[in-house]
Structure 1
Amino acid sequence: MQRAAVPPPVYYADEDYDAPPMRESPGRAWRALGWVSIALSVVLVIGSLTAYGFWRRLDGRIDREDVKGRLGENRPAKLNDATNILLLGSDSREGENSRYGVEAGRRSDTTILLHISPGGKGAIGLSFPRDSMVSIPECETDRRTVPARFGMINSAFAEGGPACTWRTIEDLTRIHIDHYVEVDFSGFTRVVDALGGVEICVPRKIDDPRAELHLEAGRQTVRGQQALGYVRTRYGFGDGSDLERIKRQQAFMASIVKKATDSSMLTDPGRVYKFLEAIASSIRTDEGMTLSVMQELATGLRGISAGNVRFVTVPVQAYPQDRNRVQFDKARAEPLFAAIREDNTVPEPEPPPAKKGPPPVQPAQVKVGVYNGTTSSGLGKRTAEQLADRGFDVVKVGNADRTYEKTAILYGTGAKRQAERLAIAVPGHPPKPWAKAKPGQVYLVIGADGAKLRGAPPMPKVAGEVRADQDICAAG
């Protein structure tokens, strides 16, 4: 080990700075999916309500359930100002839903985590395939304790209700969930009708008597019962798998968001109120989703555009024990979960280059070694991954030989401009030369004060994502 030449001394675990960076089949078709998109729409357009003073009347129509006391103690911490809402599509046959057949209980055939970035600058809907095999924690209901088990993700709702699904998603993703919203069949049809129908694109003619669905090929608008048949049919679309169905449902949700956020609708008080009245009569949510919470959320979302709303699916792979089931592909899913967890602030613009002198170098020209000088396990690796996502050439990740109070950016001969570029990405730590450093290289030593990167990490690209502003035929 060698001592750094600048006070206070900084120790490194390894001087081998040239070492490479250390980077520590289809399931069953869903029976019911797309009506949960209505829950997404209520979150995205409820801000319009502030203009018409109908909050309290609509609020009294919303059915609420107290679930917070059933979420347990070992919950993920709320790390930031983002809002995460669990959206559930219920296939309950109670009350007016009895026309769809007789089945006991209520199941969730759709589970989506809606993540809204701070300031309402964007939203992402993350779908969880219902046939995913996962670990489900012990859950409490009004009548009994449901033991922990391994099974299909949608069984959490069937056996333990929304609180159990809430706990399960938090355990799987380590993302703190703030609220949940549940929509059933009848609620779906009411809201689609209140919108005046939703545009879809059908690749070929559909005749499915089981779903009471008969559609011509091409672009068209569907309403209430026809829309419900479209989102429930298992025949005539692709291979009938979960993943094929999710893709189609995401296109449907995108179309709903596009129409619900259209300026012609938002400037028509009568249409907005009719739409929101249908929503209020169609959802169930947690008691924490109060009037004041909705108003605060609405304020943050005012002005969001369809182009800033995305839909993706948790990456999965075949479940070896059963070809009709899938399991999370952890190598691809974990970066997605981490990006959502760490969405802390609206990305700040990088400062413009000084008027005199050369512009900052590109991140790819910065060779940086990252060293963890704290007791927080994995901090160096996580920071290195965030730097790599931003284009920096991370050539080493390691641990310092002791803990440090202050984070430092050090550089070798000829690397001053590269260190200054790193300091733009990791502000608050002026670069300092280090006589023992390798020429041309930069070192980030993370101390107790942390190494917060400027802005939020970029969201990983997910194959097959759907954006709410894209052409419906292109999405479908």
Structure 2
Amino acid sequence: MTGRDENGDDGRRVGRRSRALKTAGLILAGALVLGMGTAGWAFWHLNANIKSVDIDNALGDDRPAKAVTTPSPSASASAPPLPTGALNILVLGSDSRSGEENRELGGGSSTGARSDTAMVVHIDGGRAKATVVSIPRDTLVTRPSCPLSSGGSTQVAYNTMFNSAYAIGGPVCAVKTVESITDVRMDHFIEIDFSGFAKLVDALGGVTVTTEEDIADEDSRLTLDAGTHHLDGTQALALARTRHGIGDGSDLGRIALQQKLVKALLEQISSTDLLTDPAKLYRVADAVTGSLTTDTGLDSLSELMSLGESLRSLSSDTVKTVTMPVVTAASDPNRVVADEPEASELWESLR
């Protein structure tokens, strides 16, 4: 074999290797660009999902004092410090009639929405413990005058149902009414509708709940025997809406089921390692943001992520669920009123 043949053969092999390496490099570079583009699109999509209401601007300064928020002393110099101060968040579950999915899940065919679920989530200083206080929707309250987005304001209403605040004035009036009856500043507002809750449960792989009695509620479309069940999103939503199939059929029975769901969801989230499953993480994030309305302090993915990071020490064991103390209203056996002084003492403990 001549030197020319050897050099030519080596040259061809080197050339092929060179082209192969260049091709692999281009494929890798393309994959990186595609991955970055996909991540960028996902972030943009999730960010665009979130709807918000400017609660602070609408209500102005006529509100309870804002709690002092202190930064975490352990935060690194390269990252913004995480807040560790106490926090109060009004969480509403609305029976929105907008969209086919909500109507199919029981939202009905009419327009508008009501706050079927109302919880004040109080996070202690240090953010390692929390108290979730449910406010019965049938509670009779004094609803304050609320500004309307169309201009003007609502009239003060006496002895009216608590959930009428959302129906007549949306999130702004819901927040103002809660602050009026509790004298506790709501630092944030979060609302999720029927379809969003169901999608969240499905994205997490369902939720396991134990019921102490049989449930048969035609209105919520749920039938369950007493015992432990792993529910999908539609079933979990039906459980959250059930009231006529349990106990005395009042809203207090439904609240007890909702509080079970809160605990069960926390346990499901803590047992699901979302960071090792990007696809599931995206489905959960998409489910949450797709049906979410917040105040403007939480209307971006980065702000929600920062809040979530500050609450990383919370677990189902460190979250206490209670209901605002109430008694049957003298004016209507189907309505309740705050039981004083117990109700005021509860709200005082959250300030």
Regarding TM over 0.5, the answer is yes
Indicate conservation of the 8 Å contact 1:86/1:112, yes or no: yes
Query: Take 1:196 and 1:137, find their aligned partners in 2: how far apart are those partners?
Result: 41
Indicate conservation of the 8 Å contact 2:51/2:299, yes or no: no
CA distance 1:80–1:124, change in 2 (3 Å): same
Residue equivalent to 1:221: 230
Q: Give the drift of 1:183.
A: 0.9
Query: Take 2:334 and 2:217, find their aligned partners in 1: how far apart are those partners?
Result: 23
Structural RMSD (CA): 2.1
Unpaired runs of 5+ residues, structure 2, are 1-38, 70-85
Q: How does 1:2-401 map to 2 (within 5 A)?
A: 56-81=44-69, 82-96=86-100, 97-99=102-104, 100=106, 101-143=108-150, 144-150=152-158, 151-262=160-271, 264-265=273-274, 267-291=276-300, 292-341=302-351
> Percent same amino acid at aligned positions?
41
SS of structure 2 residue aligned to 1:199: strand
CA distance 1:141–1:266, change in 2 (3 Å): same
Query: Take 1:122 and 1:313, find their aligned partners in 2: how far apart are those partners?
Result: 17
Query: Take 1:218 and 1:140, find their aligned partners in 2: how far apart are those partners?
Result: 46
Query: Take 1:166 and 1:253, find their aligned partners in 2: how far apart are those partners?
Result: 21
1:162-196 deviation line (CA, Å, top 9, x unaligned): 10010111111111111111111111111111111
Indicate conservation of the 8 Å contact 2:204/2:269, yes or no: yes
CA distance 1:165–1:89, change in 2 (3 Å): same
| Matched AA of 1:330 | E
TM-score, structure 1 length as denominator? 0.57
| Matched AA of 2:250 | S
Aligned length: 290
CA distance 1:335–1:107, change in 2 (3 Å): same
Indicate conservation of the 8 Å contact 1:213/1:226, yes or no: yes
Residue equivalent to 2:32: none
Indicate conservation of the 8 Å contact 1:207/1:213, yes or no: yes
CA distance 1:298–1:206, change in 2 (3 Å): closer
Query: Take 1:154 and 1:334, find their aligned partners in 2: how far apart are those partners?
Result: 20
Query: Take 1:237 and 1:174, find their aligned partners in 2: how far apart are those partners?
Result: 33
Unpaired runs of 5+ residues, structure 1, are 1-51, 342-476
TM-score, structure 2 length as denominator? 0.77
Query: Take 1:294 and 1:210, find their aligned partners in 2: how far apart are those partners?
Result: 34
| Matched AA of 1:93 | R
Indicate conservation of the 8 Å contact 1:189/1:224, yes or no: yes
Query: Take 2:188 and 2:145, find their aligned partners in 1: how far apart are those partners?
Result: 20
Higher helix share: 2
Q: Give the drift of 1:55.
A: 5.1
